[in-house]
Amino acid sequence: MKKFIHNQRLYLIGAFVGSISGFLYWKLIGCSTGTCMITSSPIRSTLYFALMGALFFGIFKKENHAEQ
């Protein structure tokens, strides 16, 4: 489990940062009419931004191509 967390730490950090950003976006900006698909719900906003954060931070992950 520790090895998995260590190998995927950028994805996890990105998901954490994204989820906080998504919640704050919903809380501070949000959707006043309630018709926005993503930002009208705190759960959707948080999950969407967590996914986007994980994908964005994953761009910077370096791959180890060790010869076997």
25: pLDDT strictly greater than 70:
yes
DSSP 63: P
Domain of 39, in residue numbers:
8-58
Question: Average pLDDT of 18-41?
Answer: 89
How many C-beta atoms lie closer than 10 Å to residue 65's C-beta?
Answer: 5
In a domain, 47, yes or no: yes
Look at residue 66 in the predicted model and tell me its pLDDT: 60
Span 36-54, average pLDDT: 92
User: Is position 51 within any domain?
Assistant: yes
Distance, CA of 3 to CA of 8 (rounded, Å): 9
CB 14 within 8 A of CB 54: yes
Q: In the predicted model, is pLDDT for residue 63 greater than 70?
A: yes
The verdict on residue 32 lying in a domain is yes
Q: Classify residue 63: in a domain, yes or no.
A: no
Measure the CA–CA gap between 47 and 22, rounded to whole angstroms. Answer: 7
Instruction: Classify residue 42: in a domain, yes or no.
Output: yes
In a domain, 17, yes or no: yes
65 lies in a domain?
no
* pLDDT for the residue numbered 67: 52
Q: Domain tally for the chain?
A: 1
- Residue 64 domain-assigned (yes or no): no
Taking the C-alpha atoms of residue 56 and residue 40, their distance in angstroms, rounded to an integer, is: 23
